[in-house]
A and B are shown apart, each in its own frame.
Chain A
Amino acid sequence: MSAKTTTMRRCGGNERKYRWYRFQKASAPYIFILPGVVFYLMVTIVPMIMGFWMSFHNWSIIRPTQPWVGLDNYRKLFADPLFWTSMKNTLVYSIGVVPLQMILALLIALLLNTGIKGRKFFRLLYYLPVITPMSIAAVIWTWIYHPNLGIFNQIVRFIGLRPQDWLGNPDWAMFSVILVAIWAGIGYRMVVYLAALQGIPRTYYEAAEIDGAGRWDAFKYITLPLLKPTTLYILVTSVISSFQVFGLVNVLTGGGPLNSTQVAVSYIFKRAFGDLQFGLAAAMSFVLFAIILAITLIQWKFLGKEVTYE
Chain B
Amino acid sequence: MIKNIRRYGALLLAIALFMGLTCGVSAQKKTTIVHWQHHSPARLETVKAFAQEFMKENPNVKIEIESVPQDDFFQKLLPAIAAGSGPDTFQIPLGQVPAYAASGVIQPIDSRVATTRQIESEFITPAIKRMKHNGKYYGFPVDVQTIVLFYNPKLFKEAGLDPERPPQTWDELIKYAQAIHKRDAKGITTQMGVGTGGYGPTVITLMLQNGAPLWNTKTQLPDFNSPQAIEALKFVTDLETTYKVEDAQFGRRNDMFRQGKVGMVFGHPAMIGANKTTAPNLEFRTAEIPAPKAGGSRATLLTSWAYVVSSQAESEICSKWVAYLTSAEAQKRWTLTTGELPSRKALLDLPEYKNDILLAPCMESMKKSVPAPWTARRLDDELIRETYQLITLKGESPAAALKWLTKEAVKAEKEQQELARP
Contact = CB atoms under 8 A, between A and B. Distances in A.
A16 to B, nearest CB: 46
Nearest to A280: B415
Contact of B393 (A60, A257, A274, A276): A257
Given A257-B389, A258-B386, A61 B82 contact: yes
Interface string A241-260: 00000000010000011110
A64 interface: yes
A163 interface: yes
B69 to A, nearest CB: 10
A111 B140 CA distance: 64
B100 A62 contact: yes
Interface string A273-290: 111110000000000000
A154 interface: no
B105 A62 contact: yes
A62 B81 contact: yes
A149 to B, nearest CB: 6
Interface string B49-91: 0000000000000000000000100110011011000000000
A277 B416 CA distance: 9
Given A257-B389, A258-B386, A61 B249 contact: no
B419 interface: yes
B121 to A, nearest CB: 31
Interface centre among A146, A148, A162, A165 (most CB of B within 10 A): A148
A250 B75 CA distance: 14
Interface residues of B, number: 34
Interface string B392-405: 01100000000000
Given A62-B105, A276-B78, A147 B249 contact: yes
Main secondary structure of the interface of B (DSSP, over half): helix
Contacts of A51: none
Contacts of A168: 248-249
B103 A63 contact: yes
A146 B415 contact: no
B378 A273 contact: no
Given A257-B393, A258-B394, A276-B78, A60 B419 contact: yes
Which interface residue of A62, A64, A259 has the most chain B CB atoms within 10 A? A62
A257 B197 CA distance: 12
B249 A164 contact: yes
A169 interface: yes
Contacts of B75: 273
Contacts of B250: 147-148
Contacts of A169: 393
B390 A273 contact: no
B188 interface: yes
A273 B419 contact: no
Interface in B93-147: 99-100, 103-105
Name the residue among B71, B79, B412 with the largest chain A CB count within 10 angstroms: B71
B333 interface: no
Interface string B376-393: 111000000110011001
B189 to A, nearest CB: 8
Contacts of A229: none
Nearest to B187: A162
Interface of A: 58, 60-64, 146-149, 162-165, 168-170, 250, 256-259, 273-277
Given A58-B418, A63-B103, 13 more contacts: A60-B103, A61-B79, A147-B250, A148-B250, A168-B249, A256-B389, A258-B393, A273-B78, A274-B74, A274-B377, A275-B376, A275-B412, A275-B416
